[in-house]
Amino acid sequence: MNLSGKTEVYGIVGYPVKHSLSPVFQNALFEHFSLDAVYVPFEVKPDSFKEAFLGLKALGVKGVNITVPFKERAFELCDLSDEPSKVIRAVNTVKFTDRIEGYNTDWIGFLRALRELEKELEGKKVLVLGAGGTAKAVVYALSQEECYTYIFNRTYERAIELARNFSAQVVKRPEDVLDDADIIINTTSVGLSDDDPPLFDYQMLRDHHIVFDVIYRSTPLVKTALKKGAKAQNGLSMLIYQGMESFRIWTGLEAPVSVAINSLSDYVLS
């Protein structure tokens, strides 16, 4: 890496952010195109977020990804934002020009990743587990594809709130709609550790199911689905696709997905 006075700075803002894989593959994309640019992690304490975020613009940083827990607060601080982020009310991509431009690429990253498992999404019945920030982008994407969406969440009221905004249906237990569902998507943090109590009895999965977990490791949900003959995938491809779309917004360049995947080969979690 050759840094100079002209090197453009990009990064990711989150808390925590030390384990983020985005710097690994975003720098690989810059290198692939021989761009004089670097992508760095910015770990920001929640009570300093506004100061830090506005400071990035003042410092001449060109663009950042925004991750947990700042996506909603970043949206509020943008001067303009794209249509999806206005609906989702959160941004994960910011471009600093003379103004602060906000974008949401989580939903498109999710859709591209899901389409690797199932091309035809219209009319599919989808069970979404969770009703947090990630679930909002996922449910937005599913509404764009005209899927029929069920939402299950530990905190019922949050599921009601999300379902109301996207004409989805809330379920009290995943088991209630499991047989009927074509696609099951985990957006919760359950599965980050193998010891997490499961969201439902994963032995109920069948080979007709398509399972997508936004966590980018092989969770018990994904492992059991594969054992049952279902199609299943973890969230690594969603992470890559959302990042490639951010890269396109910043640079106008379409990066080959293989460059991102190869750069992560030493980092993929089992």
Calculate helix-pair angle for 106-115, 133-144, nearest 10 degrees.
60
Q: Binding to ligand ATR by residue 189, rule CB under 6 A?
A: yes
CA-angle at 29, arms to 25 and 35, nearest 5°: 135
Stretch that binds ligand ATR, among 2-10, 95-103, 132-140, 239-247 (CB under 6 A): 132-140
Residue numbers 69-108 binding ligand ATR by CB under 6 A: none
For residues 25 and 264, the answer to whether their CB atoms sit within 8 Å is: yes
For residues 20 and 67, the answer to whether their CB atoms sit within 8 Å is: yes
Q: Binding to ligand ATR by residue 132, rule CB under 6 A?
A: yes
Stretch that binds ligand ATR, among 1-9, 14-22, 120-128, 130-138 (CB under 6 A): 130-138
**Largest Cα–Cα separation, the chain:** 59
Give least dist CB 58 to ligand ATR, A: 28
- What is d(CA 91, CA 177) in angstroms, rounded to the nearest whole number? 31
Residue numbers 50-69 binding ligand ATR by CB under 6 A: 68
Give least dist CB 187 to ligand ATR, A: 6
Measured between alpha carbons, how far is residue 207 from residues 48, 121, 201, 204, 213 in Å? 48, 18, 15, 10, 16
Beta strand ranges found along 97-251 (DSSP E):
100-103, 125-129, 148-152, 169-170, 183-186, 210-213, 231-233
- What is d(CA 66, CA 64) in angstroms, rounded to the nearest whole number? 6
Q: Binding to ligand ATR by residue 198, rule CB under 6 A?
A: no
Looking at 158, 223, 228, 248, which residue binds ligand ATR (CB under 6 A)? 158
Q: Binding to ligand ATR by residue 20, rule CB under 6 A?
A: no
- Is residue 227 part of the annotated active site? The answer reads no
Q: Closer to ligand ATR at the Cβ: 9 or 168?
A: 168
Give least dist CB 231 to ligand ATR, A: 23
Contacts with ligand ATR, residue ranges (CB under 6 A): 68, 130-135, 153-155, 158, 187-190
Catalytic residue numbers, as ranges: 71
